[in-house]
Structure 1
Amino acid sequence: MSDTGGWTGPDPKDRPDDSTPPAGNQMPPAPPPPDAPYQQQGWGPRPGYGKPGVIPLRPLTVGEILDGAITTMRRHPALVFGSSAVVAVIGAVLQLLASRYLLPDVQTLQNLGPAATDQQIQDAALDVLGDTALITGVALIITVLTQTFLSGFLTVVIGKAVLGKPVTFAEAMAEAKPRFLPLLGATIVYVLLVAAGSVLCLIPGIWLYTLFGLTTPALVLERAKVGQALSRSRQLVSGSWWRCFGILLLAGLIATVLQYLVDIPFSLGAGGTDVLTGEAVPAGWGALLLVAVGQVIAQTIVQPFVANTTALLYIDQRMRKEGMDLQLARAAGTA
C-alpha cells in the first residue's frame, strides 16, 4: 500500500482489463477514452475480486451499500459506537444545558399575561432571542467540530473494513488526525454552499448537497486538499446525481426513522413530550436528562450508519467510474 493508504486518485494503469479479442478476423471495438466510465467500455462483463472485507470488490447495489454500512458497525463495534457515543454525549450535554436554561425564559415570556406592557413583552422577547442565538451558536460550533471529527474517523475505519484489514483506535486516530483541519474547512464550505442554495431555493440546496456529498471520504481517503476534495466529489457524482441522491436520501430516511423510534419512549417517559411535533420538554432536570439519554442512544446508532453509507457510496462511485476495484483488490491482496 502506498503512503495514501491505497486510496490514491484514478490511475489508468489500475483500470481493469478483462477484454477478450473476438474470434476470427473480426476487429475488436475501438478502445474508449481513458476517462470513460467502465460501463461504457463494452469489453464484456465486469470482473469481481472477491470480498476481503465488508463489501464485494465490484460495483455495488443499494442493498450491498446499506449492508456494508451495518456490517462495519458489527465488525468494529468498539471503534464505531465508542467514538459515536462520545460525540453524542457532547451534543446531548449541550442540548441539555440549552433546554434547562432557555426554557425558563420562554415560560416567563408566556406568563406575562394581558396586563404586560408592550415594552415588557419586547424586552422579554429580546432576552429570549439573545439567549437562543447564543446557545444555538455555541451548540452549532461544537456540533460541527464533533461531527467533523466523527465523519473523518469513521471514514478511516470503513476504509480499513473494505480491505478486510484490522484497525485499532490509535491507528485510526493517527490517520484521521492530520485530516481534521482540512476536513473542518471542507465541512464549513459545504455547509455554506448548501445553506446558500437552500436560501435561494430549496432545489439548488438539494442539488449542491448531493453534488458535494462525497467530499468527506474524498478528502480523508485520498488525502486531498479542500478544493480538490470538493472537485472530486463533483466528478464522482456527475452523471450519477439521481442515484447518489436516492441513496443519500434513503440513508437519511432510515436514520430519521431509527432516531424517532429510539427517542419516542424516552420523550414519553419524560412527561408525554411528542418529538414528532417538536413541543417543549418539561423543564425539570430529571425529564431533560431522560430525553438526553434517548438522544445519545439514537445518535450513537444513527450517525455511524449515515457516515458509513456515504463512504461506501464514494467507494462504489470510484469502482464504477475509475475501475478502483482492481486497485483495492491489490491493496487487499486478492487480485
Structure 2
Amino acid sequence: MTDTPGWSSPDQPHQQPNQPQQPSHGYNAPPPPQQPTIKPGVIPLRPLAVGEIVDGAVSTMRKHPKLIIGAAAVVAAVTQILGLLVQLPFLDDLTSVATLDPNTVTEQEAIDQLTSGLAGFFTGTLLSVLLLVLGTVFLSGFITVIVGRAVLGQPVSFAEAWAEFKPQLVRLLGATLLTGLIVFVGAIFCVIPGVWLWVLFGLVTPALVLERSGVGTAFGRSRALVKGAWWRTFGVLLLAAVISWIISWIISIPFGLLGAATTGFSADPAAALSAGSLVLSTIGAIIASTITLPFTAAVTVLVYVDRRMRSEGMDIELQRAAGHGGV
C-alpha cells in the first residue's frame, strides 16, 4: 500500500498522471457540478467530521475482526499476564507495606520495610510498563497498516500487514520511546507543555509507518500536520481517550466486584493485593485492552489521514490509489 502514490509525503517525488484541463467559467457561468463522495473503504475520501473518524475506527475493527481483535487479544494477554507474573514475586513486600503498623515496629524497621516494599513495587511496575510499551508499539504499527488498507477498501492478510510493517518496527519503537521521553520531560515542568507535546507528536506512528520515513522525518511530519489544527487534533485524540477510558471502566466493574467478593468485601488494604484479586483485574484489563488499544490506534491513523486531506489535498491521491483516477 505504501508503494502507491496516495501515502507518499509532499517531499517524496512521485509521478502525477496527466489530468485534463478544466474549462474556465465566467462570472455569470454556473458553478461546476459537485463531484460525488467517493468511499471505497471505511471513510469517505474527503475531509472528515469527528463522528466520521470515530465511525471509521469502529468500522475498521468490524471489517477486520480476526486481524485486529485477534492481534489485540494476543498482545493484551501476553503483556498483561507477563506483567502479572513479574509483579507476583514482589506481592509479599507490597502487602507488608500495606499492612504496616507503626505501633508494633521500630522506626528503623518501618523504614526498611517501606523501602523494600516500594522498591519491589516500582521494579515490577517498570517491567510491566516496558512490556506494555513493546506490545503497544507492535499493535499500533500493525493496525496502522490495516487501517491504511481499509481506507482504500483493499483487503489485507496478517502476513501482508506484518511484511509491510516489519521493516519499520525498530524505528517505531525508537520513535515511541522518544515521544514518551519528550512528553514526560514536558510534563515535569508543567502539565500543559506535556499535553501540547503529546498532541504535536501524536501522528508520528502513522507518518512513520505509512510513509516509510525515518524517525526524525516522522516527528517533522507530525508537527507539520498538527500545525494550525492543534485544538481540533487535541479534541479528537482526547475524545478517543475518554471513550477508551469509559469502556475500560465499564469492563472493570464486574471484575472488581468479583475480586472484592473473593475477599469477602474486606476493608483490609492487603485484600486488594491478593493473588485472586490481581488475576481477576488482569482478566478485565485483557478484555478492555483488546477493545481500546485498536480503537485509539485506528482513530490516530484516521486523524492523520484527515489532516493530510485537509492540508495537502491527499484525498485526490487516495482516490487515484483506490482506482478512481478519473475523478
Question: How big is each residue's C-alpha offset from its partner over 1:240-280, in whole Å with a ceiling of 9 and x where there is no partner?
Answer: 0000000000000000000100111111111169xxxxx77
Answer whether contact 2:94 2:121 (CA < 8 A) is retained. no
Aligned mates of 1:332, 1:195 — CA distance in 2:
40
- The aligned counterpart of 1:306 is 296
Shift of 1:297: 0.6
TM, length-normalised to structure 2 = 0.88
SS of the residue 1:55 aligns to: coil
Change (3 A) 1:150 1:24: closer
Aligned mates of 2:167, 2:251 — CA distance in 1:
34
- The aligned counterpart of 2:276 is 286
Aligned mates of 2:108, 2:321 — CA distance in 1:
69
Are 1:316 and 2:306 counterparts?
A: yes
Aligned mates of 1:159, 1:255 — CA distance in 2:
21
Answer whether contact 1:152 1:176 (CA < 8 A) is retained. yes
- The aligned counterpart of 1:31 is none
Are 1:22 and 2:10 counterparts?
A: no
Are 1:79 and 2:79 counterparts?
A: no
Change (3 A) 1:165 1:122: same
Answer whether contact 1:68 1:312 (CA < 8 A) is retained. yes
What is the 5 A alignment of 1:217-236?
217-236=206-225
- The aligned counterpart of 1:331 is 321
Query: Which one is further off, 93-102 or 311-320?
Result: 93-102
Shift of 1:95: 3.7
What is the 5 A alignment of 1:199-278?
199-271=188-260
Aligned mates of 2:130, 2:5 — CA distance in 1:
31
Aligned mates of 2:34, 2:229 — CA distance in 1:
18
Letter of the structure 2 residue corresponding to residue 233 of structure 1: S
- The aligned counterpart of 1:89 is 77
Aligned mates of 1:196, 1:290 — CA distance in 2:
34
Change (3 A) 1:249 1:2: closer
Change (3 A) 1:2 1:184: closer
Question: How big is each residue's C-alpha offset from its partner over 1:108-134, in whole Å with a ceiling of 9 and x where there is no partner?
Answer: 234443131111111111111221222
SS of the residue 1:232 aligns to: helix
2:187 pairs, out of 178, 195, 198, with 198
Question: How big is each residue's C-alpha offset from its partner over 1:309-332, in whole Å with a ceiling of 9 and x where there is no partner?
Answer: 000000000000111011111111
- The aligned counterpart of 1:54 is 42
C-alpha RMSD of the superposition: 2.6
Number of residue pairs matched?
314
Aligned mates of 1:280, 1:311 — CA distance in 2:
42
Shift of 1:22: 3.0
Shift of 1:136: 1.8
Answer whether contact 1:99 1:288 (CA < 8 A) is retained. no
Shift of 1:222: 0.2
Question: How big is each residue's C-alpha offset from its partner over 1:279-298, in whole Å with a ceiling of 9 and x where there is no partner?
Answer: 77634433322221111110
Letter of the structure 2 residue corresponding to residue 195 of structure 1: F
- The aligned counterpart of 1:181 is 170
Answer whether contact 1:18 1:44 (CA < 8 A) is retained. no
Answer whether contact 1:48 1:58 (CA < 8 A) is retained. no
Change (3 A) 1:163 1:180: same
Unaligned ranges ≥5, structure 2: 264-268
Letter of the structure 2 residue corresponding to residue 258 of structure 1: I
Aligned mates of 1:295, 1:215 — CA distance in 2:
26
Change (3 A) 1:216 1:17: farther
Letter of the structure 2 residue corresponding to residue 286 of structure 1: G
SS of the residue 2:84 aligns to: helix
2:286 pairs, out of 276, 287, 296, with 296
SS of the residue 1:271 aligns to: helix
Letter of the structure 2 residue corresponding to residue 122 of structure 1: I
Answer whether contact 1:47 1:58 (CA < 8 A) is retained. no
SS of the residue 2:202 aligns to: coil
- The aligned counterpart of 1:109 is 97
What is the 5 A alignment of 1:120-139?
120-139=109-128
**Identity of aligned pairs, percent?**
48
Answer whether contact 2:148 2:210 (CA < 8 A) is retained. yes
TM, length-normalised to structure 1 = 0.86
Unaligned ranges ≥5, structure 1: 27-42, 274-278
Answer whether contact 1:18 1:46 (CA < 8 A) is retained. no
Letter of the structure 1 residue corresponding to residue 91 of structure 2: L
